[in-house]
Amino acid sequence: MSTETLSTAEGLIKAPLIHKGKVRELYDLGDKLLIVVTDRISAFDYILDPPVPNKGQVLNGLSSFWFEKTADLLPNHVVHTDVNQLGDLVADSDKPKLAGRVMVSKKAKRIDIECVVRGYITGGGWRQYQTTGEVNGIKLPEGLRKNSKLEQPIFTPAGKNDVGHDEDIPFGEMARRVGGQLAEDLRDLSLRLYSFGRDFCATKGIILADCKFEFGLIDGDIILIDELFTPDSSRFWAEENYKLDVEIDSMDKEPVRAYLAGSDWDKNSPPPRLPDEVVAATSARYQEIYRRLTETSN
C-alpha cells in the first residue's frame, strides 16, 4: 500500500461532489455514483487529525472483496473499482492518489435504516441489556454475560441519521417506517448475510461479533450498498482475544478510542491531534484485518 494519505478527493475529480461523509465522498457521474474512500477517521462525531495511512484502501478493498463474495446472495451496487476506467474525470497524474480508493456504483434509492445484526451481546447491545434485559425490544435470556454468544443472532435496526448518532428502534417501528414486507425482507437478508460473514470469518480465526448493512432499491429490487464487513461497519475480534466480562480489543480504530478515553478531551470541543504512534497502530490494525480476511496485502 501507499504511505501517502488522502484526506479529501475534492479538486481531483471532475464531477460534482454531492455528499461528503465522515470518510466517504460521493460524486455524481450522471447515471452512476463515484464513491471515494478517504483516510479520514472519526470518533464521537468529530473528524480527527491526521488521517490514517491506508485506511481508505483497506475499507474499499474489503468492501469490494465482500461484495464479490456475496453477489450470489444479493446483488450490490458495484460497477467497477478501477481508477483507470474513470478516463478524463481524473488527471493521469492524480490517478495514483486515488488507486484502490474508488468505487463506481449504480444509483439506488437508499433505505434509511441501518440493518444491524448482533451475534454477541456487547457494546450498545450490552448496555441496553443491562438496563432492560432487552435489545431493541427483543427479550433476551437472563444471566447473559458481557460478550456472550447469543443462541441465535438478533436483528436490531437503527433509524439512519446523516448527522449525529443513529437511533436504535424496535422492529415494529422499522416496519412502520418502511412497510411490513420490506422490513421482513431486510431482516431476513441481514441475518443471511451475517451468517455468511460469520462463517467465513471463522475460517480465518476471526469472530464477527456484530455488523451493519445498508440497502437500496433499484426498480423496486433490494440491493446492497455503501460498505460491507469492514472494520468501520463490523466488530471483529481475533479468536485468541475472546473473553467474557472484559472489553475485547477489537480489530479497528481501538487505539484511537483508547487514546481519546485516556485524554482530558471533553468531547465537546475540537479533539486533540492524534500522536504518531496512535496513527501508526491504527493503520496497522486496518491492514492486519485485511490481510487475515483476504490472505493478501492491499
Cα–Cα distance for residue pair 259/282, rounded to 1 Å: 11
**Chain mean pLDDT for the chain:** 95
Q: Is the dihedral of CA 220, 224, 227, 229 positive or negative?
A: positive
271 preceded by a cis bond (ω within 30 of 0) = no
Confidence class of residue 4 from pLDDT cuts 50, 70 and 90? confident
Residues of the chain with CATH 3.30.470.20: 110-241
Predicted pLDDT of residue 39: 98
Q: Is the pLDDT of residue 172 over 90?
A: yes
Name the fold adopted by 1-107.
Phosphorylase Kinase; domain 1 (3.30.200)
* Rounded Cα distance, 194 and 163, in Å: 26
Task: Tell me the pLDDT band of 165, cut-offs 50, 70 and 90.
Answer: low
Q: Dump pLDDT digits (tens) for 83-132.
A: 999 999 999 999 999 999 999 999 999 999 999 999 999 999 999 999 99
Q: Is the pLDDT of residue 291 over 70?
A: yes
Task: Determine contact, residues 86/36, Cβ cutoff 8 Å.
Answer: no
Which pLDDT band holds residue 3 (cuts at 50, 70, 90)?
Answer: low
**Cell numbers that stand for 110 in this block:** 437508499
- Candidates 83, 62, 106; CA nearest to 9 is 83
Confidence at residue 160, expressed as pLDDT on a 0 to 100 scale: 80
The pLDDT value given to residue 298: 65
- The pTM for the full model equals 0.95
Q: Which of 28-37, 71-80, 141-150, 265-274 has the lowest mean pLDDT?
A: 265-274
Amino acid 297: pLDDT? 76
Distance CA 75, CA 223 (A): 5
Q: Does the structure show a pLDDT above 80 at 166?
A: no
Q: What are the tens digits of pLDDT across the range 185-199?
A: 999 999 999 999 999
Beta strands 149-155; 113-120: pairing state:
antiparallel
123 by DSSP, 3-state: which?
A: helix
Average pLDDT over residues 263-271: 92
Homologous superfamily of the 110-241 domain (CATH): ATP-grasp fold, B domain (3.30.470.20)
| Range list for CATH 3.30.200.20 in the chain | 1-107
